[in-house]
A and B are shown apart, each in its own frame.
Chain A
Amino acid sequence: MKQALELKINGETHDLLLTPNVTLLEAIRDHVGLWGTKAGCGMGTCGACTVLLEEKPILSCITLAVECHGKEITTIEGLSEGVALSSLQEAFVRAGAVQCGYCSPGMILSGTALLRKNPRPTVADIKKALEGNLCRCTGYNTIIDAVLDAGTASSPQLDQGEKK
């Protein structure tokens, strides 16, 4: 039976009517139409579908949409303002941390959550925070460089308060 639910995605409220077996990933991509969140393994392994649920990174492919009713969700589209990228996104561009780009939304969201909690992470902190995101092209080094770069640069956009 379909259930009415309200998803607050990137500050915007979406009213949806979904069956309970719809995952948050399917709701975001197929019902809301935000395609920045990627569908990878679908089994909670690769991290491509990472979104922030109440500021914490989670895997949207193994989270039911109905369980997110009324909660704040941030997807990759919520980090930039129009064409103005967040400082971590800019750092990704500068470091060349994007090749095919499929893992990038998840990587950037996991990295953003790390930088909000710990604005000056070490390489070890970054590796631990990104362990749940798999990348098949870059070899990870440029991604780690990008997060380090965004961490050492002043990053007001990553500041939770100012972003909202």
Chain B
Amino acid sequence: MNLPEFEYKTPTSKKEAVDLQSELGEDAILSAGGTDLIPNLKNGTIKAKTLISLSRLSAEKEHLTEDGSLKLDALTTLSEIAESSLIKATAPTLADAAFHVGGQQIRNRASLGGNLCQEMRCLYLNQSHRFQFIEPCYKRDGDCCYPYPTGGKSCRSVFMSDIAPVLISLGAELMILNSTGQRVVEIEDFYTGDGLQPLTLGPTEMITAILIPPESHRMECHFVKATPRGGLEFAMVSVATALIIDGPDKKCSKARIVIGSVNTRPLRAFQAEQEIVGHKLNEALAVKIALEVAREVKVLPHHGYSKGYLQQLVEVHTKRSLLALIRPPGEKATHQSEDKGV
């Protein structure tokens, strides 16, 4: 499949990149690793007259800022994140999630910022449209939705980043640059939940860095990605959990449970989180919470998996994830080591 023609620009700084973008308007698109963009340009899901390549920019090394936040450059590749000893020590679930994206060839190119801005996915959208589906869907400026023909005029594709749920569970913030200046947004507010316009990122803005607050270093975290094959796949369901467990009675003072790959944005289970706060997590509570999460989170059937099956996956993997958090130290198996034998 050939790539359509485009103009190619290579800015040498992030500021120059956003200036170029505002000069060229919506016809220009930023490209970091291109592992999501190039296939989507090939199949026509994304159209661009100009490609602004960030390949000449180098990523700042991840580091702890003065207030103890972990700062990551948006251009850091997923391989670098998966292998970084600082990230493994301060945000192990982030390293774990990066390790489970695509295959090593993808991780060597794909950037963190690109992963957070990746295109939505659905069985109909991410393939060549030249020989089938004559009528374009809403996402492609058409007038129908193939998976949900009667669902109203909206796109019900799924946002499948593995990194976003983890960053939400850690309470991360995104630093966004535009030609007039910089703004900081909580990653939770970065996603709209609208399949047609999934990000609050303007057409002339770019993510420059990700900040993970120091509070997250105190959190007990876990990440699970449920896939049928165990490698090179988008998740059926992903679950990121993070709890702050305080005091001698080991009561939970803060909880975040985030479910990814089941809707147009990563979803938090707010009610279930409230039910953990103030309690000591044990097996019986984990079972109850997992059921609550599966009830609370609105699951869209996707890629051939039924709603009932996905709800069951949410329940099972939330339970496993919570139980992993209360395993005594030493026994704590990370997701990474669990599925090494797959």
Q: A residues touching B (Cβ–Cβ < 8 Å)?
A: 1, 3, 19-23, 42-45, 47, 50, 53, 56-59, 62-64, 66-67, 110, 113, 124, 127-129, 131-134
Contact among A21, A124, A127, A132 for B3, CB-based, below 8 A: A21
Q: Is the C-beta of B34 less than 8 angstroms from some C-beta in chain A?
A: yes
Contacts of A22 in B (CB 8 A): 3
Contacts of A110 in B (CB 8 A): 104-105
A44-B35, A132-B105 known; A124+B42 contact, CB < 8 A: no
Contact between A20 and B6 (Cβ–Cβ < 8 Å)?
yes
Q: Tell me the minimal C-beta distance from A72 to chain B in angstroms.
A: 14
Q: Tell me the minimal C-beta distance from A12 to chain B in angstroms.
A: 23
State how many residues of chain B have any CB contact under 8 Å with chain A.
31
Contacts of A134 in B (CB 8 A): 232
Q: List 30 A-B contacts (CB under 8 A).
A: A1-B7, A20-B51, A21-B2, A42-B1, A44-B35, A44-B106, A47-B232, A56-B79, A56-B108, A57-B105, A57-B108, A58-B109, A62-B34, A62-B109, A63-B34, A64-B38, A64-B53, A66-B8, A66-B53, A67-B34, A67-B53, A127-B231, A127-B340, A127-B342, A128-B104, A131-B103, A131-B230, A132-B102, A132-B103, A134-B232
A56-B79, A124-B341 known; A62+B108 contact, CB < 8 A: no
Cα(A59)–Cα(B110), bound, Å: 11
Q: Tell me the minimal C-beta distance from A71 to chain B in angstroms.
A: 10
Contact between A19 and B38 (Cβ–Cβ < 8 Å)?
no
Q: Tell me the minimal C-beta distance from A44 to chain B in angstroms.
A: 5
Interface mask (B5-43 → A, CB under 8 Å = 1, otherwise 0): 111100000000000000000000000001100110011
Contact between B42 and A128 (Cβ–Cβ < 8 Å)?
no
Look across to chain A and name the residue whose beta carbon is closest to the beta carbon of B231.
A131
- Secondary structure of the A contact surface, majority rule: mixed
Cα(A113)–Cα(B105), bound, Å: 10
Q: Tell me the minimal C-beta distance from B338 to chain A in angstroms.
A: 11
Contact among A1, A42, A64, A131 for B104, CB-based, below 8 A: A131
Contact between B39 and A62 (Cβ–Cβ < 8 Å)?
yes
Q: Tell me the minimal C-beta distance from B182 to chain A in angstroms.
A: 27
Contact between A21 and B4 (Cβ–Cβ < 8 Å)?
yes
Max chain A Cβ within 10 angstroms of own Cβ: one of B3, B43, B231: B3
Contact among A43, A56, A67, A128 for B39, CB-based, below 8 A: A43
Q: Tell me the minimal C-beta distance from A36 to chain B in angstroms.
A: 16
Contact among A43, A59, A124, A133 for B340, CB-based, below 8 A: A124
Contact between A21 and B53 (Cβ–Cβ < 8 Å)?
no
Contacts of A58 in B (CB 8 A): 105, 108-109
Contact between A67 and B55 (Cβ–Cβ < 8 Å)?
yes
Interface mask (B264-307 → A, CB under 8 Å = 1, otherwise 0): 00000000000000000000000000000000000000000000
Contacts of B34 in A (CB 8 A): 62-64, 67
Q: Tell me the minimal C-beta distance from A131 to chain B in angstroms.
A: 3
Contact between A59 and B53 (Cβ–Cβ < 8 Å)?
no
Contact between A47 and B103 (Cβ–Cβ < 8 Å)?
yes
Contacts of A1 in B (CB 8 A): 7
Contacts of A47 in B (CB 8 A): 103, 105, 232
Contact between A44 and B38 (Cβ–Cβ < 8 Å)?
yes
Q: Tell me the minimal C-beta distance from B3 to chain A in angstroms.
A: 4
Cα(A65)–Cα(B192), bound, Å: 35
Contacts of B105 in A (CB 8 A): 44, 47, 50, 57-59, 110, 132
Cα(A17)–Cα(B104), bound, Å: 30
Contact between B39 and A21 (Cβ–Cβ < 8 Å)?
no
Cα(A1)–Cα(B341), bound, Å: 49
Contact among A42, A57, A63, A66 for B42, CB-based, below 8 A: A42
Cα(A67)–Cα(B37), bound, Å: 14
Interface mask (B319-342 → A, CB under 8 Å = 1, otherwise 0): 000000000000000000000111
Given A20-B51, A21-B5, A128-B340, 7 other A-B residues pairs in contact with their CB atoms under 8 A: A20-B8, A21-B6, A44-B38, A50-B105, A62-B34, A62-B35, A64-B34
Look across to chain B and name the residue whose beta carbon is closest to the beta carbon of A21.
B3
Q: Tell me the minimal C-beta distance from B119 to chain A in angstroms.
A: 13
Contact between B232 and A132 (Cβ–Cβ < 8 Å)?
yes
Q: Tell me the minimal C-beta distance from B97 to chain A in angstroms.
A: 15
Interface mask (B151-175 → A, CB under 8 Å = 1, otherwise 0): 0000000000000000000000000
Cα(A149)–Cα(B109), bound, Å: 29
Contacts of B342 in A (CB 8 A): 127
Contacts of A57 in B (CB 8 A): 104-105, 108
Cα(A128)–Cα(B96), bound, Å: 13
A21-B2, A57-B108 known; A3+B35 contact, CB < 8 A: no
Cα(A22)–Cα(B296), bound, Å: 47
